[in-house]
Amino acid sequence: MFEITQCANNRIDMSFGGKIDREEMKILLDEFVDKTKDVEDGIMLYTIHDFDFPTLSAIGEELTRLPELFRHTRKFKKVAVLAEQQWLRKVSEIEGMLFPGLDIKGFSPNDTENAEAWLAQ
């Protein structure tokens, strides 16, 4: 299950949870591309709940669209990741190091207030 909400011209909130298959990944990626097409200097609040690894076909779908996803990811300067699992927060922060100009910081789900404050800085 996922939800992508455009909160402002430069703000996207994304929520993701459970197992995702190829069709759901295609829908998610289409929606992400659509909702981020006009974003500049963007910020994102990304909530991960009930995480389960995507199916192999879902990962394949994502891999086939990497160039497009990189273009849209570069539109963001900050992403706050809310996740229960410490390892997901840490992996997210490491992933942020791979994108010049993108700062990703992990927060626990009960730390939404600090995540919001960090995004607003």
Each residue's pLDDT tens digit, 61-100: 999 998 898 899 889 999 999 999 998 899 899 888 888 8
Rounded to two decimals, the pTM is: 0.89
Q: Which of 84, 81, 78, 68 is nearest to 103 (CA)?
A: 78
* Confidence at 58, pLDDT banded by 50, 70, 90: very high
CA 111 from chain centre, in angstroms, equals 17
The predicted structure's pLDDT at residue 119: 96
CATH 3.30.750 fits 2-120, yes or no: yes
> Does residue 18 sit in helix, strand or coil?
strand
Cβ pair 90, 106 in contact under 8 A: yes
Partner residues linked to 107 by β-bridges: 82
Each residue's pLDDT tens digit, 10-24: 999 999 888 889 999
